[in-house]
Amino acid sequence: MTRIARITLASFFVALPLWTFAQEKLDEFNPVQYAIISQTISPDARGASLGDAGAATDPDVNSQHWNPAKYPFTISRAGVALNYTPWLRQLVNDIDQAYLAGYYRIGEHSAVSGSLRYFSLGEVQTSDADNAMTVNPYEMAIDASYSLMLSEKFSIAATLRWIYSDLRNDYTSEDNSPASAFAADLSAYYQTYPTIGSRECQLAFGLNISNIGSKITFSGSDAAEFLPTNLRLGTSLMVPIDEYNKFSIALDANKFLVPTPPTMEQYTKETGLSDNQGYDQWVHEHYNNTSSISGIFKSFSDSPEGFKGEMKEIQWSVGAEYTYNDKFSLRAGYHHQDPSQGNMKYFTVGAGFKMSVFSLDAGYVIATAKTNPLDQTLRLSLSFDMDGIKDLLHRR
């Protein structure tokens, strides 16, 4: 498989279920386009098994991806987690993502956290007239966050991220170099304890605006591409059944803050023309030249279908979790994306087992469409509680 085929596979085959639909209704298929697809992949088993919901779920070590503002509310002083996801296994067998996350609480009201994401496209054979070689294209990102509790119920966080993408076409050319970009996240978390009936429950709300930053330019391309800037809003409710059993539900709504590519219909309506060359120039002026910050504001009102189209760009995630004695968990969820945006509709299931020192979680995707390349995606997470390790060492 060539390098271009592999990159195209990883970047666009997630829309595979739409191809038949798009051929029948080309005017309705106009998804938001962005680079660095690895930033959109749920990295951990718990969040993924809840239908990709996590903005307001109970804080854990992998909150760095979902909402780092949750870290000041963690029970443990520190933790670290290693997550692994074999990606698109229905199509290839050597694309995967590794995600390392960790945090440390400073005092009682703040925390520092960070993560390392590595998305590998496997081994790719590339060649030109004089050379042939095996290369390993990949994407990676390193980020660090600081979160602060402003009250007993509310916290905020800021994140800085460096993104690096080595998807070069010609490794022998001096002019062909990897691409990189900087981005930032802003997040908030609110947690309260209402009484429902005779039970004190936990109600939470979360917000995370991620990947606000520069556009990224790949070698051989004249146009800079948008990062997957994303607005995530969520809520969750935990209800204790009795001393040992509790049940939680979570709901997330996601919208990419990236402008929608203008269509030929829009070009014809505005200019009265329908030539491809004029359309390409018009797209360059009205889309490619849009800055990343302008694109955020434009993304709320630029759908060819108006408000209806903007609503179609929202992805919905709903999940439920049952926990016994804070040690064993069962999870299920559902993720919905409109057909015009990617048609990624799937159920998720998972389970987790927690000891004083470590936790082991697994998540599994069950696609509702047979052609969905995310079907049977498995995620594994191994987390370590630093307080638990410290207590264990002190016993010896």
Burial class (CB in 10 A: 0-12, 13-18, 19+), 355: exposed
Where do we find the tokens 């209402």? Answer: 194
| Cβ atoms of 55 and 69 closer than 8 Å | no
Q: What is the mean pLDDT of residues 278-287?
A: 81
Residue 384 to residue 79: CA distance in whole angstroms: 6
Q: Which residue in 340, 304, 344 sits closest to 40, CA to CA?
A: 344
| Cβ atoms of 84 and 206 closer than 8 Å | no
Residue 19 has pLDDT above 80, yes or no: no
* pLDDT tens digit sequence for 92-108: 888 999 999 999 999 99
Cα Rg, the chain, nearest whole Å: 22
Residue 265 has pLDDT above 70, yes or no: yes
User: Which fold, 37-126+134-260+303-394?
Assistant: Porin (2.40.160)
Sketch the domain layout of the chain as residue ranges. Answer: 37-126+134-260+303-394
Coil vs helix vs strand at 307: helix
Intra-chain end-to-end CA distance of the chain, in Å: 54
**Dihedrals phi, psi of 342, to nearest 5 degrees:** 155, -20
Q: What is the mean pLDDT of residues 18-47?
A: 74
* pLDDT tens digit sequence for 213-255: 999 988 767 778 999 999 999 999 999 999 999 999 999 999 9
Residue 339 to residues 141, 285, 365: CA-CA distances in angstroms?
29, 28, 18
Beta bridge partners of 84: 98, 380
Average pLDDT of the chain, as a whole number: 87
Give percent above pLDDT 70 in the chain: 88
Cβ neighbour number for residue 91 with a 10 Å cutoff: 12
* pLDDT tens digit sequence for 289-302: 889 999 999 999 98
* Identity of residue 331: R
* pLDDT tens digit sequence for 45-66: 999 999 999 999 999 999 999 9
Where do we find the tokens 């606000």? Answer: 212
* pLDDT tens digit sequence for 163-219: 999 986 555 555 678 899 999 999 999 999 999 988 999 999 999 999 999 999 887
Q: What pLDDT shows up at residue 6?
A: 46
H/E run at residue 148? strand 138-149
Q: What pLDDT shows up at residue 123?
A: 82
365-377: string of b/e by CB count within 10 Å (b at 16+)? bebebeebbbbeb
Residue 310 to residues 32, 286, 300, 352: CA-CA distances in angstroms?
11, 18, 7, 36
* pLDDT tens digit sequence for 300-355: 998 888 899 999 999 999 999 999 999 999 999 999 999 988 889 999 999 999 99
Cβ neighbour number for residue 380 with a 10 Å cutoff: 15
Return the sign of the alpha-carbon dihedral for residues 13, 14, 18, 23: negative
Q: What pLDDT shows up at residue 129?
A: 59
Q: What pLDDT shows up at residue 21?
A: 41
Q: What pLDDT shows up at residue 350?
A: 97
